[in-house]
Amino acid sequence: PPLYKQRYQFVKDLVEKYKPKKVADLGCADCRLLWMLKFCRCIEVLAGLDICASVMKEKMHMLSPLPIDYLQPSERSLTVTLHHGSVAHKDPCMLGFDLVTCIELIEHLEESELKKFPEVVFGFMAPSMVVISTPNSEFNPLLPGVTLHRHPDHKFEWTQAQFQSWALETAKCYGYSVEFTGVGHPPTGMESVGFCTQIGVFVRKYPQTGESVQSEEPIEAVYKTVFKAVY
Ligand code: SAM
């Protein structure tokens, strides 16, 4: 299957394994991963965030309940919301999630946004688990036609060492552990190149205390809700 499907499947497998109830996808683009996740029966709250409202709106109708959902209502409740905003800004609507996914997002962030990202995701949202995927630049020579970056909008592409040192530093700073994996295997004999897509799975080390949930000053809402469906 194409690489993007392998990334989505990786997240879906993780959801089936750990059964988070509340999942937020940051940089959700056309909501394809959210659409896949709505079939995971453990999920009760799904949220998407993207800085580009038009790409989110393209296929968001796919997240609406179908006639069958009304004719055969299931036991679980499911709320799906889409927000327009940036991962560089905090918004209270992103609190209380069990799993936050950032699939092929960080390489699109400007330096200033990437700097704020750890505090927003790990410090503020502070979910029990965070999944971050990004291209592995060491794999690029194996991809036909790739010169500098795989996509012109990428602000950077990291080697395994660069991603791992950023991830380990971030994890240490916010009390998470991190493990590295990926999708898209290198050819036999070239294992040192690593996966085509590198993935970090971060797990919060300590249960959240009331203090870390409640910040000193209440955080103002800055995201705009562009879609909401209640099943
Ligand atoms: N996660 C999707 C996937 O794997 O198919 C889409 C990845 S796409 C390559 C990156 C997305 O991140 C784009 O939809 C872009 O609009 C979004 N994005 C870029 N900067 C962002 C920011 N600061 N806050 C939120 N989303 C952002």
What pLDDT does residue 212 have? 53
Residue 49 Cα to ligand 1 middle (Å): 8
Instruction: From the CA of 101, give the closest atom in ligand 1.
Output: 1
Does the ipTM exceed 0.95? yes
Cα 108 to Cα 214: distance, rounded to the nearest angstrom: 30
What pLDDT does residue 164 have? 98
User: What is the per-residue pLDDT across 37-71, written as a single tens digit (0 to 9) for each?
Assistant: 999 999 999 999 999 999 999 999 999 998 888 88
Residue 30 Cα to ligand 1 middle (Å): 9
Pocket probe mutation, ligand 1, options 5, 23, 51, 90, max atoms within 8 Å of Cβ: 51
Q: Please list every protein residue whose CB sits less than 6 Å from any atom of ligand 1.
A: 4, 7, 26-29, 49-52, 55, 86-88, 103-105, 108-109, 113
Q: In a 10 Å sphere around its CB, with 0-12 CB exposed, 13-18 middle and 19+ buried, how is residue 115 labelled? A: exposed
Instruction: From the CA of 87, give the closest atom in ligand 1.
Output: 24
| Structural domain 3-208, CATH architecture | 3-Layer(aba) Sandwich (3.40)
User: What is the per-residue pLDDT across 142-185, written as a single tens digit (0 to 9) for each?
Assistant: 999 888 899 999 999 999 999 999 999 999 999 999 999 999 99
What pLDDT does residue 159 have? 98
User: What is the per-residue pLDDT across 22-34, written as a single tens digit (0 to 9) for each?
Assistant: 999 999 999 999 9
What pLDDT does residue 67 have? 85
Cα 174 to Cα 160: distance, rounded to the nearest angstrom: 21
What pLDDT does residue 74 have? 79
User: What is the per-residue pLDDT across 199-220, written as a single tens digit (0 to 9) for each?
Assistant: 999 999 988 765 555 556 788 9
For the segment 102-111, the average pLDDT, to the nearest whole number, is: 98
